[in-house]
A = this chain, B = another copy of it.
Amino acid sequence: MFCRRRDPPIPGSDCLTLRRVVATGTFDILHPGHLYYLEESKKLGDELWVIVARDANVRHKPRPIIPEEHRLRMVSALKPVTHAILGDKTDMFRPIQEIQPAIITIGFNQHFDEIKLHQQLSERELHPSIVRIGRYENGDLCSSRIVVERIIEVRGKKDMSHETN
């Protein structure tokens, strides 16, 4: 069990100083870019909590291939991740209120407007630092979209050629 930052601090307890970091994302087909984002996020605090997007809430890009429960299970299994949960179906800020993070990290290609996000959090009396994590530069397949495109390019054509043979 993890003690919460909003619990009364117990003198001599780790809870006095635990810094929670929250990272968010879809994490559809895991790749080293995701891992880099999570590793860099974890370095900023003591516990990394990850909010995994619900299938129904992914609207700004194609729906995930991998169902939310599988995505949650895989993210939970990564070493930098202390705890992963699914997002709230209707209120994206509810888990943030529960977790009370000191820091929220944003991936290099996530579409949040940091100023607007600050305002929305402030309205709920949440004041975490917002940190944008840089791009992972060591690979050309560090994007679920690019992995999907590669799969279609390499295997899709093969499958189509089988169909016509």
Chain A residues at the B interface, C-beta cutoff of 8 Å: 29-32, 35, 62-63, 65-67, 69-70, 73-74, 77-80, 139, 141, 147-152, 154-156, 158-159
Number of chain copies forming the complex: 2
In the complex, what distance in Å separates the CA atom of A108 from the CA atom of B154? 26
Q: Which residues of B contact A70 (CB under 8 A)?
A: 31-32, 139, 141
Query: Which 5 pairs between the two chains have the least Cβ-Cβ distance?
Result: A156-B156, A152-B156, A151-B151, A32-B73, A30-B30
In the complex, what distance in Å separates the CA atom of A147 from the CA atom of B69? 15
In the complex, what distance in Å separates the CA atom of A156 from the CA atom of B155? 10
Q: Which residues of B contact A69 (CB under 8 A)?
A: 139
Partner pick for A154 among B32, B65, B74, CB 8 A cutoff: B65
A65:B147 contact, CB within 8 angstroms: yes
Q: Which residues of B contact A155 (CB under 8 A)?
A: 62, 65, 148, 152
B152:A159 contact, CB within 8 angstroms: yes
Least Cβ distance of A146 to chain B in Å?
10
A77:B79 contact, CB within 8 angstroms: yes
